[in-house]
Chain A
Amino acid sequence: MRQEIPLLITAIVGIGFVIQYFIPHWPFSRMSDWFSDWFSIVGACAIILGALNLLKMSIEKTYRRKEDWGYAAVIIGTFLLMTVIGIAEGRGFRNPGTSFDWLYNYVYIPLSATMFAILAFFVASASYRAFRARNFEATLLLIAAFFVMIGRVPVGHTLSSFMPVGWQLSDLASWVMTYPQTAGQRAIMIGIGLGIVSTSLRIILGLERAHIGGGK
């Protein structure tokens, strides 16, 4: 029964969702909103579990002085700091000028932005590996990338400005992005669509049980 009941619920909800796409009449017209609302409610309750788990693991690590426990101590400190300030400032804790808002704007956002900025360096190192002309495909990628990159910067336009319109580097870059790139991406999207239908069908029919620990 531990597996049958979840499978039954999954099948009923799954079929219900397929039906609601084709039937605009009430109650099917409201089903999507109802499930979305319930998902938000369950998610909001689950966040407590997540936060408690984070605290529990961090406290345990700090208390037992496990390796790198200092990071866990920072987590506990910042977690409590934000929580206490947020509660102390009441309902308007997110209003401009509050301490919570200050911490958000001058600690949280710069930290996030820093992490995002690191991406630029990773793009450089990954591009270096990807664009090495090891074989035919990689060479093709390198050539396409070269034209797209140079066609998208002003110097590319200047370099090919003597050529007729439609044959300049910027036009070549646009052609690569509009035709081969879009065609490739759409092929992937079609495959994804079919994969989603196939996986959904396997789950609705109860054939796929790995997500509830089932299966042979």
Chain B
Amino acid sequence: MTPCPRTASRAGSLNILLSVFAFIAVILSSPRLSAQEQAPTDSLTRDADSLALANTPAPPVRVTVADTDNDAGGSISISWERSADDIEGGKVNLYLIQRAEVVDGQPGEFTEVGDSPAGKADYSTDDGNTSDDASYFYKVVAVGVVYNEAGERSEFTSESDMVGPITSSPQWFHKQRINTLVGMFLLSFFIIYYIVQAKAGKKLFIRKIAGMEAVDEAVGRATEMGKKIFYISGIGDMDNMMTIAAMTILGRVAELSARYETYLDVPVCRSMVMVTAREVLKEAHSKAGRPDSYKDDMVHYLTDDQFGYAAGVDGLFVREKPATIFFMGQFYAESLILAETGNSIGAIQIAGTAMPSQLPFFIAACDYTLIGEELFAASAYLSKEPKLLGSLKGQDIGKGVVLAAILLGVLLETFGVWQLSNLFSVID
């Protein structure tokens, strides 16, 4: 059934009238309601305002952004002048670093990318989220945290001006390592110069290394006694320079022992060292003209575990009672356990390591010890090859240069010439 148009029109007018009355009633009653509720709201707002005023720190100023220098890209360095309230017991607890990517030339939405504690005024975004293909705007926000009596936490912040846009990029040279480069070239020059001199037949004076002079005697002793020689290459792996040096010395010792037909036993702690040592021994025996005397079992793996290895080697020492023991390479706490056991069975012991903390133990327990650099010089020394001896001479000249630099550094520091002494600082 459809309503009469006239009746519908009258009902609509009545509805409008009722709405107008209701509206007027609400308007008339509202001041009374406000009078009841306005007072506490005003008070709360005033309290909040005064709390904010008291705790909001001053913003950080003079924010600068720059591509981080000497890196592989993906990093922006941000620095700022600390907030005036960033003092001992001040209002600043930390700084938030906010970033917005540039979209159509305008900064997009700012998001937090990191933070820096109060007292610091720099930050690097080397977190892997900075792209070299994008530009960014940055803001630094000083944050103060306040806890009320109920333990509720409130944060008050003030942000710096936005700075940017900035884009990160990689560099092709690490400028802070230029002194290392110069030092390396200088040392390489001395070494190569003396190698060339030695090749040309110039006689070079190389100081005697007592430990290396004793190698012949040590191998000869084992031959005379008809006993084994043990060669312990430490617990370092093949990525360690001391182990590589130990392998070069092993080559010389193995050649000598093969020539004297003395059994060389090489128990190792790393599988990679086992593989390498086998090749070294095989070649050394071939070079000595006795390839048939080489056996794979001369080099054998014990365990990767430090003290398990020490126990295994000690057991071998005690049971086999070798005449000669070489300790060459990287050693830790097991050094003295091994060397004292070797000492107790009366073996002649020659040790060499570049671990300063283990050197005193070897010096106390062994007959000869190669100290630090002597380990690296030993192979060249044993070879007696002029070009290798030339490199040792170059190394000694390099040591002289370092000594002169130390003396110069002491003088500069003494007289407070900091800028020059900074030339010797090395950035890791």
Contacts and interface: CB of A to CB of B under 8 A. Distances in A.
A211 B271 contact: no
Contacts, number: 215
Given A53-B274, A202-B391, A212-B279, A197 B187 contact: yes
Q: Which of B73, B177, B280, B380 has the most CB of A within 10 A?
A: B380
A201 B379 contact: no
Given A130-B364, A188-B371, 20 more contacts: A25-B170, A29-B72, A46-B272, A49-B301, A51-B301, A67-B319, A189-B372, A190-B402, A192-B356, A192-B373, A194-B187, A194-B402, A197-B395, A198-B191, A201-B391, A202-B191, A207-B195, A210-B280, A211-B244, A213-B282
B373 A195 contact: yes
Contacts of B134: none
Contacts of B71: 24
Interface of A: 18, 21-26, 29-30, 36, 39, 42-43, 46-51, 53-54, 57, 67-68, 71, 111-112, 115-116, 118-119, 122-123, 125-127, 129-130, 185, 188-192, 194-203, 205, 207-208, 210-216
A160 to B, nearest CB: 26
Contacts of A216: 383, 385
A191 B283 contact: no
Interface of B: 70-73, 170-174, 177, 180-181, 184, 187-188, 191-192, 195, 237-239, 241, 244-245, 247-252, 270-272, 274-276, 279-280, 282-284, 286-287, 297, 300-308, 310-311, 315, 319, 333, 336-337, 339-340, 354, 356, 359-361, 363-365, 371-377, 379-380, 383, 385, 387-388, 391-392, 394-395, 398-399, 402
A25 B172 contact: yes
B244 A199 contact: yes
Nearest to B308: A112
Nearest to A71: B315
A195 B302 CA distance: 30
Contacts of A112: 305-308
Contact of A213 (B239, B284, B301): B284
A176 B271 CA distance: 41
A3 to B, nearest CB: 9
A199 B245 contact: yes
Contacts of B73: 25-26
A198 B187 CA distance: 8
Interface SS of chain A: helix
Contacts of A123: 336
A188 B379 contact: no
A32 to B, nearest CB: 11
Given A46-B272, A112-B307, A215-B251, A126 B340 contact: yes
A198 B248 CA distance: 14
Q: Which of B72, B192, B287 has the most CB of A within 10 A?
A: B72
A130 B241 contact: no
Given A68-B319, A188-B371, A215-B383, A207 B333 contact: no
A122 B337 contact: yes
Contacts of B339: 126
7 contacts: A43-B237, A46-B272, A49-B275, A50-B301, A199-B248, A202-B391, A211-B244
A24 B305 contact: no
B337 A54 contact: no
Given A24-B171, A191-B399, A211-B280, A126 B373 contact: no
A149 B284 CA distance: 47
A23 B173 contact: yes
A49 B301 CA distance: 9
Contact of A54 (B195, B286, B301): B301
